[in-house]
Structure 1
Amino acid sequence: MTVADVMVELAALEDPKIREVNEKHGDDHAVNLGKLRAIAKRLKTQQDLARELWRTGDSAARLLALLICRPKAFERDELDTMLRESRTPKVHDWLVNYVVKKNAHSDALRVAWSADPDPVVASAGWALTTERVAKKPDGLDLVVLLDEIEADLKGAPDRLQWAMNHCLAQIGIEHAEHRARALDIGERLQVLKDYPTPPGCTSPFAPVWINEIVSRRTERQPAES
């Protein structure tokens, strides 16, 4: 399929009700994500087409591009440019989680983005740091991370605050030796304490989040014989 063919197909799937819901979360696409994934499954991996779809600037086309691209094929500067072009939450999140995390330049970008003055870019760096905290903590200074979170979390813009708060919770969940401090920071700063949380979901308030996940893991551990 050509880019033109794909854009016609995406346009035919647009639903005003989906757009209305998405706009409440800062997104601007109007295509059901299940149907978008079905198109991606049919197209399979097509790196050249993915790049062309990205260049359209259309959010639905960019989401599709992220599903059919080859994550390891992007160069560092290309990913940096793509992230700075990703101003809607869904495109930003999919780029970080589906592409950047699988790319060889992910850690170099993590370091660079975390220190970026643009809070949206910085939030991507913190998301990658959270991934490291959970899966590859060797080489990270968790004390320094907690110092940064303690100093900056309260006044951070929304998306950066959310990413830093997730990192705080992840440190408390995964690293028992830092749990007490993570809980203390969360309790003192009170960030997201009153965030509306649907029944059955875990609150993003770090102390509640930490204690709930740790409790679940403890309950799943087999009893000692």
Structure 2
Amino acid sequence: MTEPSGDRTDKPRRPVVVPAIALTALTVIGITALLGGLGEAPEEVEPLSPGAVLDQGLYDTKFVESRFRVERAQNTWDEDKRFLELVFDVTNKGDETLPVGTPPAKPEQAFTSTTFAGSLVKITPTIKEEWGPAVFALSKGGETRQLHPGVTSEVVVRYRLQDGVQVPDKVTLDVASFEERESFNNARLEWTMVTEEAGERSLRPVVKARVTLPVKKGGTA
């Protein structure tokens, strides 16, 4: 008797083996697609802590500390004032005296600035001040709003905390940097903030570092 022709249905099938390199490639392709395509993955922002020094191109900046201070009332009709202060050691590496500046009200407004405080493009948490923080450098015991070439100055960004506003445990700063570029009008090199496109005819600062400063508490002026 002859057996019927055709394939046997009870024969076990061999598993299909996919090389590990192929699986890796598929994983990479999938991640790339989620990020929006090749070359569009977000760049890592350098995280920094107190005491770190950042080369901002136009400035060398040491992030000293963040502190809470209370200024006691000097008389019966005065009142205690509470302040949150950000402290930096800043060296102007340019050839000209520069204003210390102020942090921008919004990050997208910072890209035209060449001041040190203008490079603090975002401060978290947001501290509301009607006129913005007081920003100054300390020079020979007094206050100045200028940074001289080649000189390291202690810079203070001081926010007054209104009644009912809690003192944060930490402050996080998004910090931009500067580069020299040729002027549009001539071949002269000028310092400008490093920016990127943010839509049609719009620019925004590139965040070079993100700095977290724990707030030291208990200081009294």
Bigger Rg over Cα: 2
TM-score normalised by L of structure 2 = 0.23
**Structure with the bigger percentage of strand:** 2
TM-score, normalization by structure 1: 0.23
Work out which structure has the larger RCO, using CA pairs closer than 8 Å and 6 or more positions apart in sequence: 2
